[in-house]
Structure 1
Amino acid sequence: MRPAIGRTVHYALTRDDVDLIKRRRDTHPDRAVGNPVTEGDTYPAVIVRVWDDNSVNLRVWLDGTDDLWAPSRHHGTTDEPGTWAWPARV
């Protein structure tokens, strides 16, 4: 499969993602609240920009009122923080 704008993928959070999310939630609790996040947690994300067959920009849907912009992320597996993967077929 090839990435395309609007496709839903799975994204594994990095330590930097987690720090950013926690900092934002601590700074703006009235606008950004949600369940705790840890490195490696996997969330659905929508592709918002395609750079090539491997690299995309993502909008990650967190379990809360906020989301995360994840630019220039590479295809991998959900076992690799900072990478995106196609959802398993069910």
Structure 2
Amino acid sequence: MPTPTLGRIVLYRLSDQDASDINRRRKDAQDANPGAERTGVIVHHGNPAAEGQVCPAQVVRIFEPSDAVNLQVALDGNDHYWATSRTQGTDPGHWAWPEVK
């Protein structure tokens, strides 16, 4: 298995807590309605997140000698999710290498 390096793209599987945090943040942004005043404010907006959803993520920090990394997860919307101290695996809350076809 390759070693994660800065900037690499991996696949991250959202956990239930991740999805809850993302959906709450997006709901709070919509409820605040900052766009009503046309200030140019960009709010968190996108399709609902769900546990098990797989998203591309960029490695932004590596914790050595452990295999934990911090990720910027690209969501189905205009925002990202910062997933901290995540390890490789197949369960929700973990990242994996993309399949090579």
Classify the TM-score, shorter chain: over 0.9
Q: Which has the higher helix share?
A: 2
Q: Which residue of structure 2 lines up, in the alignment, with residue 22 of structure 1?
A: 23
Question: Helix, strand or coil: the match of 1:44?
Answer: strand
5+ long unaligned stretches in structure 2: 36-42
- Alignment of 1:76 with 2:77, yes or no, is no
| 1:1-90 matches, cutoff 5 A | 1-29=2-30, 31-52=43-64, 54-77=67-90, 80-90=91-101
Q: Which has the higher strand share?
A: 1
Following TM superposition, the consecutive aligned residue runs of length 4 or more in structure 1 with deviations greater than 4 angstroms are none
RMSD: 1.1
Residue identity in the other structure for 1:25: R
Return the TM-score normalized by structure 2: 0.83
5+ long unaligned stretches in structure 1: none
Return the TM-score normalized by structure 1: 0.93
Residue identity in the other structure for 1:65: N
